[in-house]
Structure 1
Amino acid sequence: MMHIEWPWMLLFLPLPWLFRHWLPPAQPSGAALFLPFAATVSDASTSAVRGLSRTRKVLFILIWSLLIFAAVRPQWLGEPEPVPTTGRRLLLAVDVSGSMSTQDMAGDYTRLQVVQKVAGDFIHRRYGDQVGLILFGTQPYLQTPLTTDLHTVDQFLNEAMIGMAGMQTAIGDAIGLAIKRLQSGTDKSSHKGDTVLILLTDGSSNAGAMPPIEAAKLAATAGLRIYTIGVGADAQSGFFGMGGSDLDEDTLKQIAQVTGGEYFRATDATDLEKVYARIDQLEPSAAPQQWYRPRTELFPWPLGVALLLSLPAVLWRVRKWN
Structure 2
Amino acid sequence: MFDLASPWWLLLLLAIALVALAYVQAQRRKQNRALRFANTEVLDQVLPAQRNRLRHVPIALMLVALVVLTVALASPQADRRVPRNKATVVLVVDVSRSMNSTDVAPTRIKAAQAAAKRFADELTPGINLGLISFAGFPVTLVSPTPDHGATKLAVDKLQLADKTATGEGIFAALQQIQTLNAVLGGGQNAPPSRVVLLSDGKETVPDDPDDPRGAFTAARKSKEEKIPVSTISFGTVGGTVNLDGDEIPVPVDDDSLHQIANLSGGDFFTASSLDELTKVYETLQKQIGFETRRGDASRPWLIAGTILVLLAAAGAIAINRRLP
Cα distance between partner residues in 1 of 2:201 and 2:119: 22
> Where do residues 143-222 of structure 1 align in structure 2 (5 Å cutoff)?
143-163=141-161, 167-185=162-180, 186-187=183-184, 188-190=186-188, 192=190, 194-208=192-206, 210-222=213-225
Query: In 1, are the aligned partners of 2:135 and 2:163 still within 8 Å (CA)?
Result: yes
Task: Give 2:153's aligned amino acid.
Answer: Q
Aligned partner of residue 184 in structure 1, secondary structure: helix
Which consecutive residues of structure 1, in runs of 5 or more, have no partner in the other structure? 1-84, 287-322
Seq. identity, % = 26
What does 1:1-322 align with in structure 2 at a 5 Å threshold?
87-106=86-105, 109-126=106-123, 127-163=125-161, 167-185=162-180, 186-187=183-184, 188-190=186-188, 192=190, 194-208=192-206, 210-235=213-238, 243-285=248-290
Map Cα deviations across residues 225-252 of structure 1 (whole Å, 9 max, x no partner): 110001112238999xx75543332221
CA deviations 1:151-199 (Å, max 9, x no partner) are 1111001111212xxx110011111111111112212424657100000
In the other structure, the counterpart of 2:40 is none
Letter matched to residue 181 of structure 1: Q
Count of aligned pairs between the two proteins: 196
Contact 1:131 1:153 survives alignment (8 Å): yes
Contact 1:133 1:143 in 2 (8 A): yes
Which runs of 5 or more residues in structure 2 are unaligned? 1-83, 207-211, 292-324
Structure 1 residues 271, 237: CA separation in 2 closer, same or farther (over 3 Å shift)? farther
How much does 1:137 deviate? Answer: 0.3
Cα displacement (A) at 1:278: 1.3
> Are the aligned partners of 1:88 and 1:191 in contact in 2 as well (CA < 8 Å)?
no
**Deviation, structure 1 residue 87:** 1.2
Are the counterparts in 2 of residues 234 and 267 from structure 1 also a CA contact under 8 Å?
no
SS in structure 1 at match of 2:111? helix
Amino acid at match of 1:87: K
Contact kept? 1:101, 1:112, Cα under 8 Å: yes
Residue 149 of structure 2 aligns with an amino acid whose one-letter code is H
Kept after mapping to 1: 8 A contact 2:101/2:240: no
Larger Rg computed on CA atoms: 1
Aligned counterparts of 1:147 and 1:275: Cα–Cα separation in 2: 22
The answer to whether the 8 A contact 1:136-1:174 is kept is: yes
* 1:256 to partner: Cα distance: 0.8
TM-score normalised per structure 2: 0.56
CA shift at 1:86, angstroms? 5.1
SS in 2 for 1:183: helix
Matches of 2:214 and 2:229, distance apart in 1: 15
SS at 2:187's partner residue?
coil
Q: CA deviation at 1:119?
A: 1.0
Report the Cα offset of residue 135 of structure 1: 0.5
Q: Which stretch of structure 1 is more off in the superposition, 216-225 or 228-237?
A: 228-237
Match of 1:6 in 2: none
Tell me the CA shift for residue 273 of structure 1. Answer: 0.9
Name whichever structure is richer in helix by fraction: 2
